[in-house]
Structure formats: C-alpha cells, structure tokens
C-alpha cells in the first residue's frame, strides 16, 4: 500500500456534524486511497513519500473545486 504525507499545507475542510468550515495549517497522511490523519507535524516514516505542500491548499473531500 502506498503512503503519502502532504506536508505543511493549508487545509480547508468542513466538519460533517456542524457544517463548520475550518482553514488551518496541517499535514495530511494518505494511505492507499484513504486519508488517515490530518494534524500538525505528523512524523515521517521511512515508507512514506513526502510531498511538500508549503504555500499550497489541501482540500480533502472536495471534488471538482474549480466550479
């Protein structure tokens, strides 16, 4: 299974229960096709491909955001 760590991006997401939009700096860990963690400073494992997302937006769960 491939693992990717999106490091240092600006995350924009919506909380499912309250529909509150949150924007914050964080790392996102993706294992296979699933986001398994969104938090600050996730530790890098040796089996994880690191993707530098500094100055980039990460929008988990959003599809077709350009419309």
CA distances to 2, 13, 38, 44 from 22, rounded to whole Å, are 27, 5, 12, 24
Per-residue pLDDT tens for 18-60? Answer: 878 889 999 999 999 899 999 999 998 889 999 999 999 998 8
Q: Give one DSSP letter per residue of the chain, joined into a string.
A: --EEEEEEEEEEEE-TTT--EEEEEEEEEEETTEEEEEESSPPPPTT-EEEE-TT-EE-TT--STT-
Q: Which residue has the higher pLDDT, 23 or 66?
A: 23
Q: What is the structure's pLDDT at 20?
A: 84
The distance of Cα 56 from the centroid of its chain, to the nearest Å, equals: 11
pTM here?
0.82
Q: What is the structure's pLDDT at 4?
A: 96
């Amino acid at each position: 299974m491939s693992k990717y760590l999106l490091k240092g991006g600006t995350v924009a997401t919506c909380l499912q229960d309250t529909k509150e939009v949150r924007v914050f700096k964080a790392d996102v860990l993706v294992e296979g096709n699933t986001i398994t963690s969104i938090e600050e400073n996730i530790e890098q494992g040796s089996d994880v491909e690191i993707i530098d997302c500094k100055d980039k937006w990460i929008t988990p769960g959003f599809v077709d955001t350009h419309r």
